[in-house]
Structure 1
Amino acid sequence: MEFFNNHTKLFTTAFLFFAILTLFVVIIPAISNQQRNAELPNAVPLSEDARKGKELFIANGCVACHTQQVRNVDMDSRWGSRPGIAADYAGMKRMDIWRNTATLAGTERTGPDLTDVGNRQPSLDWNLVHLYNPRIVVKESIMPAYPWLFEYKTVLSKGDVTVTVPEAFLNGKGGKVVAKKEALQLVAYLQSLKQVELPGESRTPQFLYKREADAADSSGETTAGADGALLYANNCQACHQADGKGLPGAFPPLAGSPVVTGDDLSLYVDIIMNGYDARPEYGAMPGVGTMMGFSAGEVAAIINHERTSWGNGGKQVTTEEVQEILTLLETAN
């Protein structure tokens, strides 16, 4: 009983037990995990702009609505090409000595997951318009606008990045909308969020509970192969809109487009795969098809959907026709 009555011995012994348990239960396993879960070989470290953009992402509360974790369930397959693994987060570092916030996995998915948003939506123009006012590109969006990341100028300076905003969203303000450096840094962070391809010999994790049934199109009929309407909604609709009318001065319409309804299939496929930047009145289109790894069947499905929607009456194409053009494009590059 003398031991329990001696506070020096009692608290010293308790402290030693606590320290030993912490060492074996927390510290040693954490060091072991860090050594075993190294970042993937193709991982790209954040640029200085992207690092500052991450700080803005945290400061503006974006993590409250957006996760960065692709769970191992089929419903998450739209957010990334594979489920997330520990190595995806191994290269993330503390913000500083006082703040951890290294992994912004989040728990609330009020907005879309951002794990692979750099591939899903790489367009600088779209991201800036979306930050200025999300309702411009997604009418039903409940995301708040961030107008303080932009300024209005009547005389542009060299290097200014202008944002094409429809008149209805300018609220009577004159001049051009110009992105501040904070807006560009935040977009740089968003564009850096990409799932890293696993090394060639690695086995890619598969999504659980995957549905085997063929996708059903909007008419309710079952269609084998790629679903053009779904592919359009996931990869094209954010810019060109659900009605195919685009946004005046920002993103071109596909309804009545001579590219969509025309006979130059090579140009059409090239734009989907490699993007387009030859129209001064519109922002540059990134190479969505290449970034998302579209197959010939998926490209054909998107083309056929666009050629038969919004009053368009273009000729439908086959997977074989698209594959022939893709082979030529690969050879040319």
Structure 2
Amino acid sequence: MMDFFNDHKKLYSASLLFFLVLTLIICILPALDNQRIYQPLSTSKAMTETETRGKMLFIKEGCVACHTQQVRNVDMDQVFGSRPSIASDYARNKRLNLFQNTATLMGTERTGPDLTNIGQRQSSLDWHYTHLYNPRAVVPQSIMPAYPWLFIEKDALDPNDVEAKIPTEFLKSKTKKIVISQDAKDLVAYLLFLKQPDLPKSIAPKEFLYKQKERKSETGSKSNLPDGEALFITHCATCHQASGEGVLGAFPPLKGDQVVLGNNIDLYVTIIMNGYNGLAPAYAEMPAVGTTANLKAEEVAAIINHERKSWGNNASEVTVEEVQNIMDKIEKK
């Protein structure tokens, strides 16, 4: 036995063999088994070339340092996704080659909000471009750095140029045109790709833990509705602002708006569900927020009532039945 410990060749050979066997048992075989078990969800989609380039730019710009892509199973994370994340959500991440793995970008710190479902939470192209150029233009309290190098300043637009909707006060030069570069288009394409896929019916979603008491609307007589203010903050405030005053040159105000205060509820609901481009070029196009977020009739009604009763607005409230009838008509078209 002592000969074994005195023979360095035998000692190091045995140690190396022991290390390799442990590596196989503890690391390699479980990893292969995980790859076999955890397959991509049938409702998920593979990234396009544009989205893949955007992901690489997301890594290059260090966005993962401040943004996570994982919804934990605690109730406070429910604002970032409809369910907690599971291993299959990351099953499409494949190795780049034999020597390079690909980043899952789950992150470890939330200096900024989680981006797991940002493509659904914020589906406006114009908002993302404005936010990249200068985050303070749409989120005044933001501490995110600006990325102006993803845009091109020009004296005049060329035929194929797409101009970013940047509020005048955030422009370095009032006479220059801000053109969206291909890098910016790729990065935003990746951000819009980030949508939490629905689970197949065969998989039961995990429950969120430590649930908070659900708030009900305190507006008028419609107290059985969800909290319209919270829904507005989640789905609308990033563009129209919590003050309802919008962003001049980018997103229209809801304070004193004729659609908000008017009696044409059909138009109102249609704008929320299908989006609107009737104010271009003065303002950016509104995406189909209601359809993208799968808002229910009671949620749309709560948002409308909040907007019609806030910021000095004083219009009559709508009922869930009214909104549901309009949504049924929209669905049939």
1:241 has 2:241 as partner: yes
Distance 1:275 1:256, change over 3 A: same
CA distance in 2, matches of 1:97, 1:18: 21
Runs of 4+ with deviation above 4 angstroms: 95-99, 216-219
Aligned ranges 1:185-224 → 2 under 5 Å: 185-211=186-212, 213-215=213-215, 223-224=223-224
1:201-258 CA-to-partner distances (Å, cap 9, x unmatched) read: 32122211212x3416689xx9543100011011100101122121222111111111
For 1:238, what is the secondary structure of its paired residue?
helix
Pairs within 5 Å for 1:246-325: 246-281=246-281, 282-325=283-326
Q: Deviations over 1:26-49 (max 9, x none)?
A: 111100001100010121111111
Q: Quote the residue 1:153 is aligned against.
A: 154
Instruction: Give the match's secondary structure for 2:159.
Output: coil
1:130 corresponds to = 131
Partner of 1:20, secondary structure, is helix
TM-aligned CA distance change 1:96 to 1:279, over 3 Å: farther
Partner AA of 1:270 in structure 2: T
Whichever residue aligns with residue 47 of structure 2, its letter is: L
Residues 80-111 of structure 1 deviation map (CA, whole Å, 9 limit, x = unaligned): 00000000001112345554342000010010
Unaligned regions of 5+ residues in structure 2, if any? none
Match of 2:29 in 1: 28
What are the within-5 Å matches in structure 2 for residues 65-214 of structure 1?
Answer: 65-95=66-96, 99-211=100-212, 213-214=213-214
In structure 1, list runs of 5 or more residues that go unmatched.
Answer: none
Q: Distance in 2 between matches of 1:139 and 1:200?
A: 41
Q: 1:139 to 1:96 in 2, by over 3 A?
A: farther
Q: Deviations over 1:250-275 (max 9, x none)?
A: 11111111111111111111111111
- TM-score normalised by L of structure 1: 0.95
Partner of 2:179: helix, strand, or coil? Answer: strand
User: Per-residue deviation at 1:298?
Assistant: 0.5
Q: Shift in Å at residue 13 of structure 1?
A: 1.1
Q: Does the residue aligned with 1:177 lie in a helix, a strand or coil?
A: strand
Return the alpha-carbon distance in structure 2 between the equivalents of residues 216 and 301 of structure 1. 9
**Relative to 1, partners in 2 of residues 1:98 and 1:134: Cα closer, same or farther, differing over 3 Å?**
farther
Cα separation, 2, equivalents of 1:95 and 1:309: 51
CA contact (8 A) 1:95 1:102 kept: no
Per-residue CA deviation, residues 127-182 of structure 1 (Å, 9 max, x unaligned), is 00000000000100000000111111122122211112122111235221111111
CA distance in 2, matches of 1:92, 1:311: 49
Aligned partner of 1:226 in structure 2 is 226
- Write the distance in 1 (CA, Å) between the matches of 2:214 and 2:48: 42
**Residue type of the partner of 1:67?**
T
CA contact (8 A) 2:118 2:192 kept: yes
The one-letter code of the counterpart of 2:272 is I
How many equivalent pairs are there?
Answer: 330
Contact 2:119 2:193 in 1 (8 A): yes
**Aligned counterparts of 1:96 and 1:60: Cα–Cα separation in 2:** 22
Deviations along 1:260-293, one digit per CA (max 9) or x if unpaired, are: 1111111111111111123322222111111111
Report if aligned partners of 1:152, 1:177 keep a CA contact under 8 Å in 2.
Answer: yes
User: How far apart are residue 199 of structure 1 and its match?
Assistant: 1.1
State how far apart, in whole Å, the 2-side matches of 1:249 and 1:168 are. Answer: 10
Q: Give, in whole Å, the separation in 2 of the partners of 1:116 and 1:95.
A: 24
Equivalent AA in structure 1 for residue 309 of structure 2:
T
CA RMSD of aligned residues (A): 1.8
Q: How far 1:327 sits from its partner (Å)?
A: 1.3
How far apart are the structure 1 equivalents of 2:125 and 2:257?
23
Distance verdict in 2 for CA 1:96–1:145, change over 3 Å: farther
Q: Structure 2: how far apart are the matches of 1:274 and 1:291?
A: 9
Greater shift after overlay, 5-14 or 73-82?
Answer: 5-14
> What is the letter of the counterpart of residue 39 of structure 1?
P
Q: Among the aligned pairs, what percent are the same residue?
A: 53
Between stretches 120-129 and 319-328, larger displacement belongs to 319-328
Deviation at 1:309? Answer: 1.1
Q: Secondary structure at the match of 2:205?
A: coil
